Every structure is written in C-alpha cells, then in structure tokens.
C-alpha cells in the first residue's frame, strides 16, 4: 500500500470518526435537554399548576360546581368541571407535555367540542 493510499485511508477514517462523535454528542445534548425539560415541568406541575387548579376548585365548589384535579402518570394534569349529575362527557382542561417539542400543550373540551388552545415552553 502506498503512502498516499495510507494517508487517504487515515484521513477518511478520521473524518468518519469525527462525524460519528459529532452525531453522538448531538444525541447526548438532546437527551440532556429532554431531561431538563421533564425535570422543570415536574417542578412547575407540582408547585404551580396543581395548586392553582386546587384553588380554582375551592372557589368554584363554593358556587356549586363539581371539580376534579388529577395529576396523571404520564405527567399531564387533568382538570374537570361540571354541575350536578352531568351524564356523559364532562368539560375538562388538560396540560400535557409534548416531549418532541419540549412544550406543554393546553387542551380544552366541552360537551361536543374540543380544541387545543396552544402550547408553551416551561421557560415561559
């Protein structure tokens, strides 16, 4: 094998290795960002969202409304509100993490309709 071929092979190997290391570091960075998002959302959910819904529940209960606040296993928060013995689907609101976007999606539904209100990052 000539010196030129050895040098070309060495350069090709080094280029492939550098590309692999760059992709690997990008994957680690995405993982760290996702972990940071999940940790921050768990804190906000526990310290801000659930207590706020509990306060709303207390206020509305005094006015005759039935409310349920539930922190789901999938890290979402579900808030249901209704009067009396409503049959069928009850109006609700959810805050659900969308990990692919590192955002929290807000969804509301009433009897017969529902829509996404928007989303926000945990930094907002």
74-99 per-position pLDDT tens digit:
789 999 988 877 777 788 899 988 87
Q: What does the alpha-carbon distance between residue 114 and residue 124 come to, in Å, rounded to a whole number?
A: 24
CB-CB contact of 82 with 91 (8 Å)? yes
Provide the 10 A C-beta neighbour count for residue 109: 15
pTM of the model: 0.71
| Number of separate domains in the chain | 1
Residue 57 pLDDT: 94
Q: How are the residues of the chain apportioned to helix, strand and coil, as percentages rounded to the nearest 5?
A: 50, 30, 20
Positions in the chain whose pLDDT score sits under 50: none
Runs of H (alpha helix) within the chain: 3-44, 50-62
CA-based end-to-end distance of the chain: 60
Domain that holds residue 102: 3-120
pLDDT of residue 123: 67
Integer Rg of the chain from CA = 25
Task: Give me the long-range contacts of 82-85 (CB less than 8 A, separation at least 24).
Answer: none
């Amino acid at each position: 094998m000539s010196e030129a071929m050895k040098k070309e092979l060495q350069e090709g190997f080094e280029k492939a290795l550098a590309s692999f290391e760059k992709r690997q570091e990008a994957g680690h960075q995405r993982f760290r960002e996702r972990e940071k998002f999940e940790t921050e959302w768990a804190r906000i959910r526990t310290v801000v969202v659930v207590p706020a819904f509990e306060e709303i529940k207390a206020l509305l209960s005094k006015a005759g409304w039935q409310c349920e606040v539930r922190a789901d296993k999938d890290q979402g928060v579900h808030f249901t509100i209704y009067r009396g013995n409503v049959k069928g689907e009850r109006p609700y609101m959810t805050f659900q993490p969308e990990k692919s976007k590192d955002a929290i999606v807000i969804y509301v539904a009433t009897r017969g309709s529902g829509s996404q209100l928007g989303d926000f990052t945990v930094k907002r």
